[in-house]
Amino acid sequence: MFRSVTRSSIASQVKAPSFHTKMPAAARSLSSTASRANGSSSDKPLYASQASIPKLPVPSLSSTFHKYLETIQPHITPEEFAHSKSLVNQFLDSSLSNTLQARLEGRAAEKESWLSEWWNEAAYMGYRDSIVPNVNYFYLHKKGLAKGKSQTERAAELIRGVRDFRDLVVSEKLEPEKVKGKPLCTESYKQMFGATRVPTTPADTAVVYPADKAEHVIVMRKNRFFKLDTTGRSASDLTKALNEIKQKADSQGDALPIGALTVDTRDAWTESRRHLLSISPKNVESIQAVESAILIVNLDDQASPSSDGSARSWNIYTGGQDNSAAGKARNRWFDKHQLVIDENAESGFNGEHSMLDGTPTLRMNEFVLSALEKGKIDLEVSSGRNSTPLKPEEIVFETDSTTEGHIKTAIDNFSKIVAEHELIIAQYNECGKNDMKAHKTSPDAWMQMTKQLAYGKMHNGQPAVTYESAQTRKFKLGRTEVIRSASNESKAFVQAMLKEGVSDAERAKLLKAAANRHVQYSAWAADGQGVDRHMFGLRKLLRNGEEMPEVFKDPAFSKTSSWTLSTSQLGSDYLDGWGYGEVVPDGWGLSYSIGNDFMRWGIMTKNGRGKELEEALYWAAKEMKRMMDSAAAASGETAAAKL
């Protein structure tokens, strides 16, 4: 895994899902799906375009290493840069560079994706620490969507919506997402439902159950598990069954939190799972029932901690209401996707990230929430309703003192991890996409420069080594590539903003240059022409007896692939926030969203400076808008004076 050199580079992809594709609204998706089903070019469009999707390219050596040198320059001294440049030239002049490139091109010719197998193992399945906050991510559903319904009524609606989306996937009637009219790879949809991450050594494995074995959800209440069939089930039938589950679980009280085992280290969970299955054949059946479910539905026994997004996020993400030691990993099973519904019927989503990135799960969440809001889900199943009585089945695990010890250790370890962290949902309401577009600047680039300015204010003008996630699903089995957001141009902009005496007109010019550079690198990354995946592939093809090239031992290489800011964007009218953890001990997980009139961040860190970054982001957002408005006004006055 190249832990000493590129662990942070790998981990940043694990925890920063790619969300740059604008998802269609649920209403459009339903309409489009219906038109397909009623006789357009394909009745099964989901995978119909797979054969036409190109393979992930192998960039040229000169292109990759030219970009590499450009991206390391703002982070190191001129003397260090000269040394790094000499190591790059040495590598490019060597026969080994051409040999490694030829091997990579040969692999690309033979496989659907030269990267996929390697990356899934190195970045996800081979990861051995706790997957929260190191892999999983969360979505905080917009508050108030339940509109006065009870917890069980809202949970039933959500289950019905998920079942509709799942049926569109299984029947292949769901339209593929498209970018500029071209379909994206949809292979990952096969691993969305009835799927689980299974702990094994030396790397975890992914298991996807056949659709006919994954017709149920697992409902959790007070750490208890209940199997609930969803085939043809109406919302009213589901609500009745969910009420039965609540009544039974509440009367019996808290069970031993078996689900907490899923947040221990992967090696510890491997051993505790093996022991759990050895206790009784019943446990084998029970864990298969859990792992084969469409997904997990968590009925929490507590209300929303407050209207504050940060407090709500703690609950969705960790099973506790804050970062104290109490109540962590309650009523959760982190190896699978989970819907969480609290006693106030507020909800969220906890995503297991190893098998697929965020665009499909975001699409599912938006589909369900939007379609329910617009009344486009047939809650009572007018056609094909299953009228047989719906009886939830409790799934029971037999335990012993060893398993009880494993659970205590898992909770203790997880509580320590959580207690180290801050999690903040921050929103600035004086600037948004409308302002950014009015100044003819890419909103994503503007947001990235806001982060650079905030970090620069905290660190004497120095740039942050920043990862931004770009999805590469325009290619077969594509997942992500890195947008290296810090640049010579962004550094110049930040230093001008922090220096007295620089005019706003000059600062605006520097922001435009930084934004344009960011847009260019983003396009390269989306086209599979970034730096990091190619360099990863070259190193993977070293054989026994071949020494690691000096360019990869260079301290500058390690420094500039250790992501202090791990960033990723999504936008949805149905979320109040989202987030994930940091990837280096002194760094930040920094998710973000851009509304028409607001800027929002999800901040997670264990460096003790979360609130400081929040305040710096507010300051940077305010200063950038003031500066750009000032520069525009001055430009307008000058133009008027010339008339």
Distance of alpha carbon 593 from alpha carbon 597, whole angstroms: 11
User: Which of the residues 353, 406, 421, 518 is marked catalytic?
Assistant: 353
Phi, psi (deg, nearest 5) at residue 436: -65, -45
Distance of alpha carbon 511 from alpha carbon 521, whole angstroms: 15
**End-to-end distance of the chain based on CA atoms, in angstroms?**
64
- What single DSSP character describes residue 228? E
Distance of alpha carbon 253 from alpha carbon 448, whole angstroms: 48
Residue 416, both tokens:
């320590």
Neighbouring-strand partners of residue 569: 592
Burial class (CB in 10 A: 0-12, 13-18, 19+), 193: buried
Nearest of 409, 417, 257 to residue 333 by alpha carbon: 257
- What single DSSP character describes residue 610? H
Q: Which amino acid is at 311?
A: A
Residue 246, both tokens:
């609540």
Q: Helix, strand or coil for residue 594? A: strand
- Judging by DSSP bridges, how do beta strands 296-299 and 224-229 pair with one another? unpaired
Distance of alpha carbon 293 from alpha carbon 228, whole angstroms: 9
Nearest of 624, 569, 622, 627 to residue 600 by alpha carbon: 569
Residues 6+ apart with CB under 8 A from 116: 477, 479
Residue 222, both tokens:
């007070």
Nearest of 289, 291, 307 to residue 196 by alpha carbon: 291
Residue 94, both tokens:
């060597």
Residue 140, both tokens:
């905080």
Q: Are the CB atoms for 573 and 594 separated by under 8 Å? A: no
- Per-position DSSP letters for 341-373, written without gaps between them: E-TTS-EEEEE--SSS-HHHHHHHHHHHHHHHH
Distance of alpha carbon 598 from alpha carbon 187, whole angstroms: 34
Q: Crossing angle of helices 61-72/532-540, nearest 10°?
A: 120
75 classed as catalytic: no
Strands in 505-548 per DSSP E = none
Distance of alpha carbon 120 from alpha carbon 111, whole angstroms: 15
Residues with a catalytic annotation lie at 353
